[in-house]
Amino acid sequence: DQQVKQNSPSLSVQEGRISILNCDYTNSMFDYFLWYKKYPAEGPTFLISISSIKDKNEDGRFTVFLNKSAKHLSLHIVPSQPGDSAVYFCAARADSNYQLIWGAGTKLIIKP
């Protein structure tokens, strides 16, 4: 039972354009969502998060949008840069529960 789904295993985007990574969830108890970035042979690094009381959070080139009614969130990266090529994981948790529930990841490839 996948509670957090990232339906696109990979995404290819031209450098300078916008990258949009999507994530869907099924558990309505989730109220905190996070995006992690992972390079090969490294651990995940925290990128940006959003609480369920918000619908948007922005940090530089990264913006996360949350649509609670659709149980959907997305990460926008603009403009995309070569260093953004990595696997991006969406994760969620309920209230202050420390357990993160992870999606399977989306591999983002930025083309020069």
Partner 1 sequence: NAGVMQNPRHLVRRRGQEARLRCSPMKGHSHVYWYRQLPEEGLKFMVYLQKENIIDESGMPKERFSAEFPKEGPSILRIQQVVRGDSAAYFCASSPGLAGGDTEAFFGQGTRLTVV
Give the footprint of partner 1 on this chain (CB under 8 A): 4, 6, 9, 32, 34, 36, 41-46, 49, 89, 91, 93, 95-105
Residue (of 33, 32, 38) closest to 90 by Cα position: 33
Please report how close the Cβ of residue 19 comes to partner 1 at its closest, in angstroms. 19
CA distances for 37 relative to 24, 29, 47, 70, 95, angstroms: 17, 24, 6, 24, 23
User: In angstroms, rounded to a whole number, what is the distance separating the alpha carbons of residues 42 and 2?
Assistant: 24
Please report how close the Cβ of residue 109 comes to partner 1 at its closest, in angstroms. 17
Please report how close the Cβ of residue 92 comes to partner 1 at its closest, in angstroms. 11
